[in-house]
Amino acid sequence: MARIVAGIGSSHVPAIGAALDNGKTEEPYWKRVFSGFEKSQEWMRETKPDVAIVVYNDHASAFSVEMIPTFALGCAAEFPPADEGWGPRPVPVAQGYPALASHIAQSCILDEFDLTICNKMEIDHGMTVPMNLLFGKIAKDGHWPCPVIPLAVNVVMYPPPTGHRCFMLGKAIRKAVESYPEDLKVVIFGTGGLSHQISGPRAGLINSKWDKAFLDNLSKNPRKLVKIPHLDYMREAGAEGIEMVMWLIMRGALDDKVDEVYRFYTVPASNTAVGHIILENRVKSGRTTAKRKPTAKHKSTAKHKRAAARAKVERVRS
Ligand code: DHB
Ligand code: FE
């Protein structure tokens, strides 16, 4: 069966993509940001997922005010980068996984989460920037290391979905993945945030205290986050801080208790706080032995593994 092994939270600041595309990664301002993802790229190379579900929001690239799906699932065979005003980013066309995506659509819709099925969709910085941060820079004529399934969430026009709805959708996605017969290792991204406001009198707002508490709770106590109303996100984390609800879809798709294996936080990038976290489920292989009762030896090995994972946790404070 397919299995979600880990969740990745990452900001998707477009200026990070521009810095990468224009060869600025070694400039001190940008090196500070990119260096926080070196370990993550190492982790990704070791984890070698078969497919990545990427929860992000479209920024009026694939959709517009004319059409605003709340949850849009990419079921296409490929997803070209969108032209966001300066031509499409020089990144490869992402390959989809139509069989698994259609299975997720069916399972979630029959589970009463009414996803919009997208058989043609371009993807913007909400998706391509976190993919670069985790997979590295890949030439336009190269290949991303694994196929992707985009899930575009409306956080652009009122009303976005609630944090609770997002968390529960994560659970439905997990159920969908685990009922897919093929042995696949799946990772799920939640992107956006952290605190930022792009326009208006509060432009440039960053609230590191809020961001840190969000990351702490995401890791250890996610149920505390699902009750946060939209107004609190916007008041505390800025108008675009509302993007953080998408991290709750990722978190809902994981175990209640997870191992936080990496964290990075820096301010600012453009006008935005950059946050990043990697959370692993404790049963990691697609070929699970979860149904077998753990013996005392298993339990102690698992305990050691968790302790080792905790020891790996790195906190980079701004
Ligand atoms: C900016 C845009 C985003 O979509 C985002 O998530 C963060 C920052 C920006 O324009 O700076
Ligand atoms: Fe955004």
The DSSP result for 206-267, as a single string, is --HHHHHHHHHHHHH-GGGTTT--HHHHHHHH-GGGGGGGGHHHHHHTS-SS-EEEEEEEEE
pLDDT of residue 120: 98
**From the CA of 244, how far away is ligand 1's center (Å)?**
12
Is-contact 144 138, C-beta < 8 A?
yes
Ligand 1, residue 243: give the atom nearest the CA: 6
pLDDT of residue 194: 98
Handedness of CA 208, 213, 214, 218 (dihedral sign): positive
Low-confidence ranges of the chain (pLDDT < 50): 286-293, 313-318
Scored b (16 or more CB within 10 A) or e, 229-247 reads ebeebeebbbbbbbbbbbb
Is-contact 75 105, C-beta < 8 A?
yes
Confidence (pTM): 0.91
Side-chain half-sphere exposure of 277, counting CA atoms within 13 A: 29
196 counts as catalytic = yes
DSSP string, 255-314: -SS-EEEEEEEEEEETTEEEEEEEEE-SS--SS--TTSPPPHHHHHHHHHHHHHHHHH--
Residue nearest to atom 8 of ligand 1 (CA): 13
pLDDT of residue 312: 52
pLDDT of residue 283: 78
pLDDT of residue 291: 43
Q: pLDDT tens-digit profile of 187-246?
A: 999 999 999 999 999 999 999 999 999 999 999 999 999 999 999 999 999 999 999 999
12 counts as catalytic = no
> Would strands 71-74 and 148-153 be described as parallel, antiparallel, or unpaired?
antiparallel
Catalytic position from the list 12, 59, 196, 276 = 196
